[in-house]
Structure formats: C-alpha cells, structure tokens
Amino acid sequence: MTGKRALVAFGGNALIKSGQAGHQKQQIENAKEAAEMVVRLVEQGYQPIVVHGNGPQVGNVLIQQEEAGNRVPPYTMDICGAQTQGSMGYMLQRTIENLLHMKGLDQPVAAVLTEVVVDRNDPGFRAPSKPVGPYYEAFRAEQLEAEKGWSVKEDAGRGWRRLVPSPKPREIVQLPVIQRLVEAGVIVIACGGGGVPVVRDQQGYLIGVEAVIDKDRTSAMLAQHLNVDALIVLTGVDKVFLDFGKPSQRAVDTLRVSEARTHLADGQFPPGSMGPKIEAAVDFVAAGGNQVLITTAEALLSQPIESVGTRIVPD
C-alpha cells in the first residue's frame, strides 16, 4: 500500500459500550463499527495502524476469576492483558478483513500480540493508581489486601477496587515485526491495551509484571517509530474543550504544543479523562510528529479526516 499512514487509538469501550454487558455478540457487532472506521481511512488513501484499549475486557476477565477463584487458579495482570489482546485482535482482524472483502479491497490484516517494556523503578510501581476489576465489599477488599498484598481503594461509594501500577512505556518488543508488516502494506493491529507489561532482568530476559500501560502513551510511541502522518486518538467528544462543563466551555480546532502544555499545567485536562490523551499528543508532536487528531469514531465515520476534531500541531 502506498500513501499516508494513520495510527488510530481507541478505547476498549469501542467494543463494550456504556450500558452493555459485553456479551460476545455485542462485541463483534461493535467491532464491525470499528472496522467501518478503519476501512473508511483506507478509502481516503491512508494505511491504518490500529491500537485498542482493553479496560472493560480485562475487568470482565478479573470478575470471572473472582467468581471462579475456588475452582480455577487466577492469572496475573500481564496474562489477562495478553488474553484480551488476542480476543479483541481477532474480532477486529476478522471484521476488518470481511469488510475489505465486501468492498473488493485486497488488503492484508494482522494482529500482533505485543509486549511493552517498562522500567521496574518507574514511580508508578510505588504508587498504584489504576483501578481494575470488580467492586468488593470492604471485608473482602481487606482480605485481598492482606492475602495478596494488593492496594485497594474505595470508589465513589460503589465498593472497593484493586489499584495497579501504570508505568510509562519504554520499549515495544515486537516493533521490528510491526515495522516490517507496515512496510509490506499490512493493516496492523498492535499494542492492544497499551501492550502486555514486561520488564527486563539483569540478563535481558523478559518478565511479566502486574501493571497496566496507558494505551495512548504507547500509541504515541508506536506512531513516532512508524513515522505516521497522523495519530488519531478517539474519545467521547468530537473536539477538545477548554473550561469543559462550565458556562464558558468552548471547543478548540487547533492547539499548538506550547498552548497544550500551558492548558495542562493550568488543570484544563484532568488526569482521569482528557489529560493522558493531551500528554501523549504533546509527546508525539514534540518528538517530531506531524499532528495528532482528537475526535470521536462517529465524526471520523461521517466526515473526511481533514475536517473533524481538534488537532495538536507543532509550534
């Protein structure tokens, strides 16, 4: 495939939407919508690279493990991440392949199970912050904290949840494979959920760790290595807003890197929502990236890529 490259990063809620239980049939139907967005980019002359989140899916795996804990030994977080990378990669791969076939487009698709190296000394390991899995009653949370050494926290009156570290990505282990596939014109699905978190020991061997990696940060790293023309970060709003939720709320069409940094410092983009996306965008553009587009999947489906969302661009 010739033409421009676009890396698309979307959350796990693209396959399990708000209010859905996450049944297999629902996820496959939602994957078809994601496939339409990817194929639309192909029709606009782009070679897509896809990175998906997996938060709801990992949460469901952890609930299954809790319910069956007295019969089936549980897996660690890295294995849970790998499981969902595989299942989600398959659903996306199959639906994209089928839609390409329906449209008469001869384009190969491949999902790559991807490990991402993190630093064992990353500050995130000292202060676990990412809530995962089921909600527990206080007595059960205390029991798990004592038995397994978990960090737990009460979550807005809904119960107690486990907190796991969220270290920054340092290295994409399968990057050479991904690069070769992209150069060969393959639509690649990679780094699902931010990647399976691993560390290297003193001999260089890989060891899985109990953590989750922010998929937008990994997406920015992958986009930089692949020299994409656009990093597209999908979220729940058509554009980035300043003073979000206030009477003075206003949409922004373009943000220069220096402006984005100022707004981050001023608290315009909260850590739990838009903050990580803006930080990843700034990192990508500041490292030489062309632009980052932040918008919704619906906007990307209904309009040309050049006319939607908010763009983060160099100064």
Question: 101: Cβ–Cβ under 8 A, 6 or more apart, which residues?
Answer: none
Among residues 11, 12, 81, 124, the one annotated as catalytic is: 12
Among residues 192, 194, 195, 277, the one annotated as catalytic is: 277
Q: Which of 102, 103, 44 is nearest to 232 (CA)?
A: 44
Please tell me whether residue 90 adopts helix, strand or coil conformation.
helix
Q: Which of 197, 198, 189, 69 is nearest to 133 (CA)?
A: 69
Catalytic residue check, 13: yes
Among residues 4, 32, 130, 168, the one annotated as catalytic is: 130
Q: How many helices (H) and strands (E) does the chain have?
A: 9, 17
Among residues 13, 30, 54, 60, the one annotated as catalytic is: 13
Q: What are the structure tokens assigned to 207, written together?
A: 């060891």
Place of tokens 């089928």: 98
Q: Residue 217 and residue 292: Cα distance in Å, rounded? A: 12
Q: What are the structure tokens assigned to 254, written together?
A: 């373009």
Q: Residue 207 and residue 304: Cα distance in Å, rounded? A: 43
Among residues 193, 194, 215, 289, the one annotated as catalytic is: 215
Q: Which of 195, 239, 233 is nearest to 58 (CA)?
A: 195
Catalytic residue check, 130: yes
Q: Which of 211, 233, 236, 223 is nearest to 49 (CA)?
A: 223
Catalytic residue check, 277: yes
Residue 167 near residue 122, CB atoms below 8 Å: yes
Catalytic residue check, 215: yes
Q: Residue 128 and residue 272: Cα distance in Å, rounded? A: 14
Q: What are the structure tokens assigned to 94, written together?
A: 């199959």
Active-site residues, by number, are 12-13, 130, 215, 277
